[in-house]
Chain A
Amino acid sequence: MGYVAVTGGQEAIEASLQHLTYERIKEGKFIDVESIKATMRGFLDQVMSESSLYSERLAALAMKQSEGNVEEAVFLLRAHRSTLPRLYYSTVTDARDMFVIRRISASFKDIPGGQILGASHDYLHRLLDFSLVEETEQDVLRKKAEFEAIEVPEESSLPLEKLPKVMDYLRKEGLINEFPLNDEEPDDITKESLTFPSSRSERLQILTRGQTGTVTSLGYAGLRGYGSSHPNVGEVRVGYQPIHIALDEEGEEYYIGSIKLTEVESFIPANVSEDGKEVLEFDIGYGACFGQNETKAIAMSILDHALENPEKIPIHDEEFVLLHVDTVESTGFISHLKLPHYVTFQSKLEQIRKIKREGVTNE
């Protein structure tokens, strides 16, 4: 009985898609992809991070096509990604080489290079700015010129392209465990399905492309008592990360561009055993993602630490966290419930009717 509607369904679907297109254009207004790219920084950063594909232009196109629907935009980009060949792997990218445009620490006031606020919504009163309703292109150009005319120092000695890490402070004092460089090739969840127990590289790859809201909520749950990783944010850095590939056997590097990146190190107190004694040290929780997504990166650092220390608490459980944070998997599964389940539902309905009938008969 569910299958009878298929022919009629095709026509209805076509009409539905026409309506969908009409919804996007019915006001007779238009926004071009370049305008989205130039003005919707936060949206693009979130979508690029969740889709695990860095391209501002494609993210802007996805926003236009999806009418600003994040889950749909991420789905579009993941699907598009699957049509493209992977041509290269980058050489090892280290955020120590980032050109920093914002760097703050919640753990130390005085840090090498200083607290650099950069551009952030953190210091705004969250009041709607109604002057933007009438903002024109001329207004934008005037404001741009005003900003560019602000007097700035003639020279800067800030080493923004090689800013030291805040955690190096604690490493020098022996308050953080030292780890040697580990060049083991990472696992890749886009090539092989996740199995448990997972590797560290798999966990980080899943968390970095996790749904922003879910990663944030789970990190928050961890702080509220559903976990035992309580961090101090050691450093949040945002900046432009140069990307290189190695083209030939000699491994000579080739620069292909830079991406905007957020990286977080959280300090989390931990008891460790040293010479038979329990001593307090700091563990590092690590978070990093495409774009300027600071809340997500901080939450990721909480989850990273939680999963490094498994316990029978939800956010310390790798299966619970890793199988549920992905945008496409979670929204896909939930939204599939909208699709026709006529046969399965009819079967359940028939079972219940039968039980009811038999129940009545038995009485």
Chain B
Amino acid sequence: MKRALRTKLLIEVGRNEAIQFANEISTKYQVEEIQAPKLGLTMIKMRESAQQSLFYIGEVLVTETKVKIVESFGIGVVMEDDEGLSRALAIVDAAYKENLPETQNWQGEFEKLEQRYQQQLQQLKCSIERTKVNFETMKI
């Protein structure tokens, strides 16, 4: 599973799972906190569609944490002020980088998260679909 999808699932629908995975790792391995959760900014680089050039639309608040497990560094970055999730993401990231055996067992959990995420999107889509204009049924 790609890192982007993994972080997306944990951030969007898997906060509890991220913290649970991180606790599991923390009880079995020494997690060295290289950098405690800290607040910072990420500047968003945007593609404008008129001339296809790039510009900066503004910054978003993020929380960043860095940890080390055995020989691998992990990083957790998440929007807003969220120390708990940022730390958990960093530990999960380091666990995958170190290829810890526990990560093999998480595969099923990530599949469930993927289902939950798709279900959530589908619900939103179905609700939004009601606001789609059907010109054929409009009375003039």
Contact = CB atoms under 8 A, between A and B. Distances in A.
Contacts of A285: 50
B11 A263 contact: no
B62 to A, nearest CB: 6
B112 to A, nearest CB: 18
B9 to A, nearest CB: 9
Given A165-B49, A290-B57, A255 B62 contact: no
A53 B81 CA distance: 13
Given A158-B129, A188-B43, A201 B56 contact: yes
Given A257-B78, A290-B57, A88 B42 contact: yes
A36 interface: no
B106 to A, nearest CB: 17
Contacts of A53: 41, 58-61
A214 interface: no
A186 interface: yes
Interface in A286-337: 286, 288-290, 304
B122 interface: yes
Nearest to B7: A255
A148 B131 CA distance: 15
Interface in A168-224: 179-186, 188, 190, 200-201, 204-205, 208-209
Contacts of B79: 54-55, 243, 256-259
B81 to A, nearest CB: 6
A205 B55 contact: yes
Interface residues on B, range: 35 or more
Interface residues on A, range: 35 or more
A252 B47 CA distance: 19
B51 A182 contact: yes
B34 interface: no
Interface in A85-118: 85-96, 99, 101-102, 109-110, 114-118
B122 to A, nearest CB: 7
Contacts, number: 227
A110 to B, nearest CB: 7
A180 B58 CA distance: 24
Contact of B45 (A85, A110, A186): A186
Interface in A71-88: 81, 84-88
A180 B8 CA distance: 30
A353 B31 CA distance: 77
Contacts of B24: none
Given A57-B80, A88-B77, A257-B80, A153 B59 contact: no
B80 A183 contact: no
Contacts of B126: 152-156
A252 B3 contact: yes
A200 B12 CA distance: 34
A229 interface: no
A272 B5 CA distance: 45
Contacts of B59: 52-54, 81, 86
A12 interface: no
A284 interface: yes
B132 A186 contact: no
Interface of B: 2-5, 7-8, 11-12, 39-62, 64, 75, 77-81, 121-133, 135
5 contacts: A86-B43, A92-B54, A208-B55, A257-B11, A289-B57
